[in-house]
Chain A
């Protein structure tokens, strides 16, 4: 039976929105639609958004497309966005597609928080 918890949890920390992806695998169109409907509406002007991928073990190119859509809306709103906690196998997908050039990628949530708050962070 598929889990029924929401695919993303939203929390706020020091003016930063932290979106924690809860599913191990982001696969079905329904999951992507739910993610999109949850995250896109919270992208407001000057948003500082950290997306925590530490639970995600598998994703497809459709999820990458959604991330680009989110990052575009963040940019249009003059916001900042970091991805963090990306597992090595998923990181390889980012490198193959060269999306590691597109996204600010940080090792963990604290580093992501520092990055979107404009503090120097070594990834």
Chain B
């Protein structure tokens, strides 16, 4: 379901990887229409996949009764998105660094690092169940 006013849109999706992939395709198509370059589309795609799958998998635990809520605005200037889940949240400040020697061989825990690496803004709400990300189309000085 999508609602919205002006260029801010709202959508909710089911907590599964098919719904995540469908929404990613749709948002990337909108970004491409706004002339984002290939590198930016790759960056946005990766951050979106990581954030949406985090919400569906870790936040909502793939519970079919829970949804992932997405609010976004895609303009020629920036790709701005907030992704919320219905989970208990987490403290991003306590996430272990996946690049440290003791974590390097762990199977999980790299999503937030990739989101931070590829987006210009990544911030979580206090509860830790909503992430806000921005990618500027032009490099920020």
Contact = CB atoms under 8 A, between A and B. Distances in A.
Interface in A63-97: 64-66, 68-69, 72, 89, 93, 96-97
Contacts of B61: none
Interface of B (DSSP majority class) = helix
A96 B110 CA distance: 10
Contacts of A28: 17-18, 21
Interface of A (DSSP majority class) = helix
Given A65-B107, A68-B106, A68-B107, A97 B53 contact: no
Contacts, number: 52
Query: Among the interface residues A62, A93, A101, which one has the most CB atoms of the partner chain B within 10 A?
Result: A62
A112 B22 CA distance: 35
Closest 8 interchain pairs by CB?
A65-B107, A61-B110, A98-B99, A28-B17, A60-B49, A96-B117, A29-B17, A61-B111
Nearest to A72: B105
Contacts of A58: 42, 45-46
Contacts of B39: 89
Given A29-B17, A61-B108, A89 B42 contact: yes
B17 to A, nearest CB: 5
Interface of A: 27-30, 58, 60-62, 64-66, 68-69, 72, 89, 93, 96-99, 101-102
B19 to A, nearest CB: 11
Contact of A93 (B98, B107, B114): B114
B17 A61 contact: no
A61 B95 CA distance: 15
B99 A97 contact: yes
B114 A96 contact: yes
A64 B99 CA distance: 13
Given A61-B50, A61-B114, A99 B21 contact: no
Given A65-B107, A65-B108, A68-B106, A96 B113 contact: yes
A93 B46 contact: yes
Contact of A60 (B53, B98, B104, B106): B53
B21 A27 contact: yes
A41 B17 CA distance: 25
A93 B46 CA distance: 10
8 contacts: A60-B50, A60-B114, A65-B108, A89-B42, A93-B46, A96-B117, A97-B99, A98-B104
B37 to A, nearest CB: 12
A6 B105 CA distance: 27
